[in-house]
Amino acid sequence: MKIPSIIPITDLRQDAASILHKVRKSGEPLVITQRGRPAAVMMSVEAYEKSERDHQILMILANGDKEIAAGEGYSLDSVMEEADRIIKGKQ
């Protein structure tokens, strides 16, 4: 994992438009510090949306693991059939 860029909030105040442009262009998060401590993270909308999708997928997988441990859930064959149906329906 790449270490994110870090800037103090005073730099953000002085040059917000340029910093926002850099964040959008790079797609990488930017840590904003206040009094030398991390206070916020700035990221492009695209990076945020990808992060949210990844988080949702991980939550689904975690819930699936819980269901399997409890003896619930669906067989792999039925999941694959459903996935194929969804994929073919979207084409």
Same domain, 56 and 86: yes
Same domain, 10 and 23: yes
Q: How far apart are CA 29 and CA 6, in angstroms?
A: 9
DSSP 32: E
Residue 76 above 70 pLDDT? yes
Share of the chain above pLDDT 90, in %: 48
Same domain, 33 and 56: no
Pairing of strands 37-42, 5-8: unpaired
Residue 90 above 70 pLDDT? no
Of the ranges 21-30, 39-48, 76-85, which one carries the lowest mean pLDDT score?
A: 76-85
Using 50, 70 and 90 to split pLDDT, how confident is the model at 68? confident
Same domain, 56 and 80: yes
Domain count, the chain: 2
Print the domain residue range for 9: 5-43
Same domain, 51 and 16: no
Inter-CA distances, 23 with 17, 38, 39, 54, 64, Å: 10, 17, 17, 20, 35
